[in-house]
Chain A
Amino acid sequence: MSIELSQFISTFLEESYEGLDIMESGLLNFNSSDEEAINTIFRAAHSIKGGAGTFGFNEVADFTHDVETLLDEMRSNKQESTPALVNLLLESTDCIRALLEASQEGPEVDALMISQVQKRLKEVLGIEAETTAVETKDTSSQESATQHSDAVWSVHFIPNSNLLQSGHEPLFMFEALSELGGLQIEVTTNIFPALSAFKPEELYLSWELLLVSECSEEDIKEVFEWVEDECELNISVSQVPSNPEGDIDSDSEWLIRFVPNADIIQTGNDPSLMFETLFELGDAVVTPQFDKLPLIQNLSADQLYLSWEIRLASKCTKEEIQEIFEWVEGDCELEITKLPSVTQTTANPSSTSSVVSPATPSNTLSSVPEEQPKAVDTAVQSKGKSSAKNAKKPTEASSIRVDTEKVDSLINRVGELVITQAMLGQVGADLTEITTGPEVERLQTGLELLERNTRDLQEDVMRVRMLPISFVFNRFPRLVHDVSGKLGKKVELVLSGEQTEIDKTVMEKIGDPMTHLIRNSLDHGLETPEERLAAGKSETGKVELRAYHQGGHIIIDIIDDGRGLNTKKIYEKACEKGLINKDQQLNDQEINELVFKAGFSTADEVTDLSGRGVGMDVVRRNIESLGGQVSIKSEPNKGSTFSVKLPLTLAILEGQLVRVHEDTYVIPLVSIVETILATNSAINSIAGESKLLHFREDYISLLNLKNIFKLNTDAPVDEKESNLIAIVESGGKKVGLIVDELYGQQQVVIKSLEVNFKRVEGLSGATILGDGSVALILDVAGLMQRGQAFEMEAAVKEA
């Protein structure tokens, strides 16, 4: 039976990656006195090694073997668990991961890194580094090569008595044979006639030849080609030379004395089954011995009172017999003796002598096929083995890999369906207003069902793109470990809500901003252990990553318990850099927000870590480009919290529908701060078209969408008594958008303008509404820029 191992590989990979995560997190929180913790790490490594060996990931198995050995020495206190060792083990997990990924069409593995880490592991373990994985593999393949090539041929050559008379010389044939390989010749003299009947021309000898050679049967037959019809020739191949001293071809007789302890059956070993295994080696005669049998009243059902004497005729080695009794080695007396060899000729002399008469070739070859199936069998088996080893690609049974493009196209199609459904719903509603009847009711029911199914379908499809945020979070324990090590700070990282799901695209893009925020917290937020102790805090600082859902968004909080933002310093810096005016009054919150301004950096010196030239403004910009927001809360000496708010998906948007002139626009709900009805008195005109709104002790500029989009401006804004204004925010800047009417809020499916039309500044896309009309989605950051350009243009015109 052959079993395709590849079907288990995806499970193996899954649990291996899981195991690596366990190892990594265990190592990061390493505490040498915690026995269970190191056992857990060891177990993970152990499982990876075992699976890797079983499923043919030999490199992984070899590499992990050293890791496992080191862990074993650490847990048994043979090695002291130094931070250096822990780091080496962490690097090893990286290597194992890289090896596994490389085997799954991942990036090419960095062989140098692997071999260096492996070398260091071996150094620590005191193993000579030269026995590398590759070499071991080589020798093993060489071994198997010899196994396959060098066979032991047993040739039974019984010439007709008149062979010499046709000019043949057996000795020459043997010479030819010896050119093929090592040859052992044994002569059989059991067909000698009585001396009186002896004829000098006749040949009364036959031979048993043993040839160790990689030749084929044809090669041997060729040697005897000319005497084919004048002899009986039996050629058979036996296994590998098991006993080089000789006596290989024929069965040896073994005497096995097996005296099990009385309680052997309680180990689950059954002698009769052992004997059955023994029978597979050859013919055996099993004789039970009853000498240990007690009186009947003393018999116990749990005990075994028998012992055995077994005579086995087999070509096997002593080791093969021992292996059968391997499990009971300590539970029995076992004597294995090889009896003086028995060749077929002596065992069965009469049959040999009767073959003196000329035999037909077909008859002579009859014994050959007997051995052949065995050879074929092993060949197939080894082939099956090697194909299993080569099968590194998993057949993914539980999950399938799909091109994201296909998923996106599916999402798009569902988006269209949602729009169509909304249109139909609208028609249905209109219809019920003008007519009634059972048909209309049925239509209405159907439409409701359609709506529900469409919504479910949309959610399901969206979920295809969703992955747990742990994919991003998982990289941070390592980051925190490495960074805090460099900074000389003690840090505990707490993760929560790792299972919160988020769109794959959003996730791919959030990693870098998050990394930056965490580095920032570690570098600027947390104090050194000394500073913390002086401030009455525990030596170890805490950074917490918390993800959760809130109203159609995912929120990721990065919380540290460090020194908090220094508002005074920030204020001074902002003045110095000209970001604010000296006379500007700002509250603490507003000052904190300044760190997101372009060109702001308070670090006294640019450190290796946070100060990589990427400022918080870039972080904010990246997050906003995902339709998200970042905010900050800080309390002196208690710590800071950076809150990142992200949409669950980029395909759908929570929007506020507004009317401007005759068109409907969508404002992303996330950017709206407030909508107000402002009287003209609150609006001040400054130079030309520009207008400022006095809003909560602040002046914010107003953008008139009619002007910006060059809509029909028949009704100038100032002719109205009051204006409806949506105050929106982007990049920490607020502007007011003048709109004519507020419609409802709804989810809209985003259609790309770039793909379907062209990129338009100030618009992030379009959507189709329930009535079939197109609404443009406003991009607040773009609008602000467009507004500025427009005002400048207007100012130039005016001038």
Chain B
Amino acid sequence: MGTILVVDDSASIRNMVSFALKQAGHQVTEAENGQDGLKKAQAGRFDLVLTDVNMPLMDGITLCGELRKLTPFKFTPILMLTTESSDSMKQKGKTAGATGWLVKPFNPEKLLSTIQRVVR
């Protein structure tokens, strides 16, 4: 079971995601936006980062780029939670170093089966 950082400015989505992850036995740290996420990432160790794309203060793509600059996050899977399933957004994420993405809306089952692909 992993330690997971969940970054999303929407409390309802964040709560849902972290609830589902905790139910599955993961440890979860929540952050409200990219800036908060970066701060929390620096303060801890994570096996996976799940981040929203559109957020105030710092968006998910910037966060992704910033995280990749940090040595402990060099190999850490980072998944984008995005409603934009368009290729341009995926590409932007990839370029910034994202591992993969999860297209909203998703349900907890989909979330858990997806993260299986990067965390066991």
Residues on A lying within 8 angstroms of B by beta carbon are: 1-3, 5, 7-9, 11-12, 14-15, 40, 42-43, 46-47, 49-51, 53-55, 61, 265-270, 273-274, 276-277, 302, 324, 326-327, 330-331, 381, 384-385, 388
By beta carbon, the residue of chain B nearest A16 is B12
Q: Which of A267, A274, A385 contacts B107 (CB 8 A)?
A: A385
12 pairs of residues in contact across A and B, judged by CB atoms under 8 Å: A14-B11, A43-B54, A43-B55, A47-B54, A49-B83, A268-B100, A269-B100, A270-B118, A273-B116, A273-B117, A277-B116, A385-B107
- Provide the B48-67 mask, 1 if CB < 8 A to any CB of A, else 0: 00000011100000000000
**Complex interface: chain B residues within 8 A of A55 (CB):** 12, 16
Q: Which of A2, A266, A274 contacts B74 (CB 8 A)?
A: A266
Q: Which of A40, A42, A267, A302 contacts B97 (CB 8 A)?
A: A267
Q: Which of A51, A269, A273, A385 contacts B13 (CB 8 A)?
A: A51
Knowing A1-B108, A266-B97 touch, does A15 contact B83 (C-beta < 8 A)? Answer: no
Query: Is B44 part of the contact surface with A, judged by Cβ < 8 Å?
Result: no
Query: Is B42 part of the contact surface with A, judged by Cβ < 8 Å?
Result: no
A12 to B74, CA, bound (A): 34
CB distance from A133 to the nearest CB of B (A): 15
By beta carbon, the residue of chain A nearest B11 is A11
A47 to B10, CA, bound (A): 7
Contact B97 A269 (CB under 8 A): no
**Complex interface: chain B residues within 8 A of A61 (CB):** 105
Contact B117 A46 (CB under 8 A): no
A277 to B100, CA, bound (A): 14
A324 to B116, CA, bound (A): 11
CB distance from B22 to the nearest CB of A (A): 10
A273 to B47, CA, bound (A): 13
Contact B117 A324 (CB under 8 A): yes
**Complex interface: chain A residues within 8 A of B98 (CB):** 267-268
Contact A50 B104 (CB under 8 A): yes
CB distance from B99 to the nearest CB of A (A): 3
Label chain B's interface by main secondary structure.
loop
Label chain A's interface by main secondary structure.
helix
A162 to B5, CA, bound (A): 67
Knowing A15-B11, A55-B12 touch, does A269 contact B83 (C-beta < 8 A)? Answer: no
**Complex interface: chain B residues within 8 A of A40 (CB):** 56
By beta carbon, the residue of chain A nearest B68 is A266
**Complex interface: chain A residues within 8 A of B75 (CB):** 265-266, 268
Contact A268 B10 (CB under 8 A): no
Having A267-B98, A268-B76, one finds 16 other A-B pairs with CB under 8 Å, namely A1-B24, A3-B107, A5-B108, A8-B13, A8-B15, A8-B19, A46-B83, A47-B10, A53-B105, A61-B105, A266-B97, A269-B77, A273-B116, A273-B117, A327-B99, A384-B109
Q: Which of B74, B99, B120 contacts A276 (CB 8 A)?
A: B120
Query: Is B112 part of the contact surface with A, judged by Cβ < 8 Å?
Result: yes
A54 to B54, CA, bound (A): 16
CB distance from B35 to the nearest CB of A (A): 15
CB distance from B118 to the nearest CB of A (A): 6
**Complex interface: chain B residues within 8 A of A270 (CB):** 77, 118
Query: Is B9 part of the contact surface with A, judged by Cβ < 8 Å?
Result: yes
**Complex interface: chain B residues within 8 A of A46 (CB):** 54, 83
| B10, B116, B117: residue with the most chain A Cβ atoms closer than 10 Å | B10
Contact A277 B83 (CB under 8 A): no
CB distance from A277 to the nearest CB of B (A): 5
By beta carbon, the residue of chain B nearest A46 is B54
**Complex interface: chain B residues within 8 A of A267 (CB):** 94, 97-99
A292 to B108, CA, bound (A): 40
What's the tally of chain B residues with a CB closer than 8 Å to chain A?
Answer: 40
A388 to B105, CA, bound (A): 13
Contact A15 B10 (CB under 8 A): yes
Contact B77 A47 (CB under 8 A): no
**Complex interface: chain B residues within 8 A of A266 (CB):** 68, 74-75, 97
Contact B94 A268 (CB under 8 A): no
A40 to B23, CA, bound (A): 33
Contact A8 B16 (CB under 8 A): yes
A47 to B13, CA, bound (A): 9
**Complex interface: chain A residues within 8 A of B11 (CB):** 11, 14-15
Which 10 residue pairs are nearest across A and B when measured between Cβ atoms? A53-B105, A268-B99, A327-B100, A268-B77, A12-B12, A54-B105, A11-B12, A3-B108, A50-B104, A8-B12
**Complex interface: chain A residues within 8 A of B118 (CB):** 268-270, 273
By beta carbon, the residue of chain B nearest A11 is B12
CB distance from B116 to the nearest CB of A (A): 7
By beta carbon, the residue of chain B nearest A49 is B83
By beta carbon, the residue of chain B nearest A326 is B100
CB distance from B101 to the nearest CB of A (A): 7
Contact A302 B74 (CB under 8 A): yes
**Complex interface: chain B residues within 8 A of A324 (CB):** 117
Query: Is B78 part of the contact surface with A, judged by Cβ < 8 Å?
Result: yes
**Complex interface: chain A residues within 8 A of B68 (CB):** 266
A269 to B77, CA, bound (A): 6
**Complex interface: chain A residues within 8 A of B13 (CB):** 8, 47, 50-51, 54
By beta carbon, the residue of chain A nearest B111 is A3
**Complex interface: chain B residues within 8 A of A1 (CB):** 20, 23-24, 108-109, 112
Contact B55 A54 (CB under 8 A): no
Contact A3 B106 (CB under 8 A): no
By beta carbon, the residue of chain B nearest A274 is B117
| B12, B23, B83, B101: residue with the most chain A Cβ atoms closer than 10 Å | B12
**Complex interface: chain A residues within 8 A of B78 (CB):** 268
CB distance from A43 to the nearest CB of B (A): 5
CB distance from B51 to the nearest CB of A (A): 12
**Complex interface: chain A residues within 8 A of B101 (CB):** 327
**Complex interface: chain A residues within 8 A of B100 (CB):** 268-269, 326-327
Q: Which of A47, A50, A330 contacts B105 (CB 8 A)?
A: A50
**Complex interface: chain B residues within 8 A of A43 (CB):** 9, 54-56
A9 to B11, CA, bound (A): 10
Contact B76 A54 (CB under 8 A): no
By beta carbon, the residue of chain A nearest B110 is A385
Q: Which of B73-95 contact A (CB under 8 A)?
A: 74-78, 83, 91, 94
**Complex interface: chain B residues within 8 A of A42 (CB):** 54
A269 to B74, CA, bound (A): 11
By beta carbon, the residue of chain B nearest A327 is B100
CB distance from B29 to the nearest CB of A (A): 17
A133 to B4, CA, bound (A): 36
**Complex interface: chain B residues within 8 A of A327 (CB):** 94, 99-101, 117
CB distance from B87 to the nearest CB of A (A): 10
Knowing A269-B118, A270-B118, A324-B117 touch, does A51 contact B77 (C-beta < 8 A)? Answer: no
Contact A11 B15 (CB under 8 A): yes
Contact A54 B117 (CB under 8 A): no
By beta carbon, the residue of chain A nearest B80 is A327
CB distance from A325 to the nearest CB of B (A): 10
Contact B97 A3 (CB under 8 A): no
A54 to B104, CA, bound (A): 7
By beta carbon, the residue of chain A nearest B16 is A8
| A1, A3, A270, A384: residue with the most chain B Cβ atoms closer than 10 Å | A3
A385 to B107, CA, bound (A): 8
**Complex interface: chain A residues within 8 A of B116 (CB):** 273, 276-277
Q: Which of B1-35 contact A (CB under 8 A)?
A: 9-13, 15-16, 19-20, 23-24
Contact B120 A273 (CB under 8 A): yes
A790 to B5, CA, bound (A): 78
CB distance from B110 to the nearest CB of A (A): 10
By beta carbon, the residue of chain A nearest B67 is A268
A478 to B28, CA, bound (A): 41
| A47, A277, A326: residue with the most chain B Cβ atoms closer than 10 Å | A47
**Complex interface: chain B residues within 8 A of A47 (CB):** 9-10, 13, 54
